Amino acid sequence: MANGKLAAAVVAACILAAGGGLLINTQPWSRIEASEGSQEAVFSKSAGSQEAAFSKMEAASTAAEETSPADVTNSAEDMEVEEILFRNAVGAVQMEITTGLTTEYLNPLMNYPVLVVRGEETITINDRDELDAIGLDALYTPELLEAVEAADPDTVEIKDWKAVLGNPDTAYVVIGRDEHGIDGITEFHYKK
């Protein structure tokens, strides 16, 4: 996700450069630099050509693409943003489960493979076809709907990018982050 901030800054700079060419040519803030180790593109006050600006943007974009998530050191602010985004995913899952009518809307919120645990029985949903085959009636039980609706996404505990939404004594879902930084449902749990 940290690379996303750099990419957004690079895109914004490209939009300024492409759409507002006069801004770059006439303003003293004409050169774009990406400081080493930084995840932000910044304007520096110096004379420079558009070509130099685009060259630096390309270098920053290439560096962002080559940097793996493990190489990025997140600041406290970045972690705060990540937690907000994760809580938004938890809220989206809550909204979908409590108002959803089709697997079409649930599918993008699933981090396949997804485990469905009912007492001692566990099945795995591997893709949209298997989700359609199981259907929402099997997943959206009255206990799950009640437990998820009563939960507060703003106060659920997040540990190791996982959160439990619902009631561990009756039914709940686990929302987790995969190796690509995608947040979604990883498990459904039912007491019975």
Query: Domains of the chain, with CATH numbers?
Result: 2-71 (no CATH), 76-190 (3.10.450)
Q: Which residue has the higher pLDDT, 151 or 102?
A: 151
Q: What is the SS3 assignment for 35?
A: coil
**Tell me, what amino acid is at 128?**
R
Report phi then psi at 109, rounded to 5. -95, 0
> Which tens digits make up the pLDDT trace of 58-106?
555 555 555 555 545 558 888 889 999 999 999 999 999 999 888 999 9
pLDDT at residue 43 above 80?
A: no
Contact 9, 38 (CB under 8 A): no
Contact 190, 119 (CB under 8 A): yes
- SS3 assignment for 46-106: ECCCHHHHHHHHHHHHHHHHHCCHHHCCCCHHHHHHHHHHHHHHHHHHHHHHHHCCCHHHH
- How far CA 66 is from CA of 38, 83, 109, in Å, comes to 14, 24, 28
**pTM for the predicted model, two decimal places:** 0.60
Q: What is the SS3 assignment for 45?
A: coil
Q: Given this model, what pLDDT does residue 77 score? A: 85
Q: How far apart are CA 173 and CA 79, in angstroms?
A: 23
pLDDT at residue 36 above 90?
A: no
- How far CA 90 is from CA of 59, 145, 169, 183, in Å, comes to 35, 14, 19, 8
Q: Given this model, what pLDDT does residue 75 score? A: 80
Contacts of 13 (CB under 8 A, 6+ apart): 32, 41, 53, 57
